[in-house]
Amino acid sequence: MAALPFRWQLSLGRHIGGCFGRIARRRRRIAAINLALCFPELSATQRLALLDAHFAALGIGLFETATAWWTSDERLRDRVRITGTEHLEQAMARGKGVILLTGHFTTLELGARFITLLQPFHAMYRPHKNPLYEAIQRRQREARSRMPPLPHEDLRGLLRAFRKGNAVWYAPDQNHGLRNSVFVPFFGVPACTLTATSRLATLSGAAVVPYFPRRLPDAAGYELVILPALEQFPSDDPVADATRINALLEQHIRQAPEQYLWVHRRFKTRPPDQISPYAP
């Protein structure tokens, strides 16, 4: 898959994603509910088009993952335009470590691989349930990032990494239940959101540097935007910090909404007076 010409990857990926979108009815329903919640201003026809585009992006994401794991640095450099490199360099120069903050995009693996062209890092992640996929994922991520991945519950390992001045990849935008979470807006909908970003920054003194990957239209490749380290972060209010991160994510998701991971049940945990929007 990684060896195919780029335009072939896009074409085959769209076809595979379209087929998946027709047979994966549960995931399609979840994505449709998420889009209805987050884009109420769109018509039903527009949301359906966005839903189809999302599954096409998921299919392309299979090829992007293969590319991230098995393509050479030289070939990747020809495919991406990176802006904001100086922001990462300045944050690393502080010597207290960096939290590479991003979201769960369909380009997730490839976006992280683009970062490795600039800076090795530890990936903070949850192990995959499938043992074969987990073994391959861990091996390839470690080989490409040049540092071992860290399970999300390994707080000591994370703090050791920051004390060494290392960078750690982190995406706090999925629903992991009420523990260490607060309800803050995400596209105007109360979303159970982790406060761990504030906690990690407080304990370590690491700078929080957001970055966002995006596949460009017309087979033009990719862009990777690295933003300046968040100023006055963390604050003394974890709710305000979580709100700020969600707003930042939303801003960049809107630039290419089909490339965000809408098949995740982002709103499954609800405040006490609300029921899950995914209930039958």
Q: Are strands 98-101 and 80-83 parallel, antiparallel or unpaired?
A: unpaired
Q: Would residue 115 count as lying in a domain?
A: yes
Q: Are strands 207-215 and 98-101 parallel, antiparallel or unpaired?
A: parallel
CATH number at residue 155: 3.40.1130
Q: Would residue 278 count as lying in a domain?
A: no
Which domain range does residue 243 map to?
6-259
Q: What is the pTM of this model?
A: 0.94
How far does Cα 193 stand from its chain's mean position? Answer: 14
**156 sits in which H/E element:** helix 155-163
Q: Would residue 265 count as lying in a domain?
A: no
Per residue in 101-144, pLDDT tens?
999 999 999 999 999 999 999 987 777 889 898 888 888 888 87
pLDDT score recorded for residue 31? 98
Residue 238 has pLDDT above 90, yes or no: yes
| SS3 call for 148 | coil
Q: Would residue 26 count as lying in a domain?
A: yes
CA–CA distance, 36 with 188 (Å, rounded to integer): 12
Task: Give the model's confidence band at 150: pLDDT under 50 very low, under 70 low, under 90 confident, else very high.
Answer: confident
Q: Would residue 169 count as lying in a domain?
A: yes
| SS3 call for 211 | strand
Residue 231 to residues 19, 142, 193: CA-CA distances in angstroms? 44, 30, 20
Domain count, the chain: 1
pLDDT score recorded for residue 125? 76
Q: Would residue 103 count as lying in a domain?
A: yes
Residues 6+ apart with CB under 8 A from 117: 73, 76, 77, 80, 82
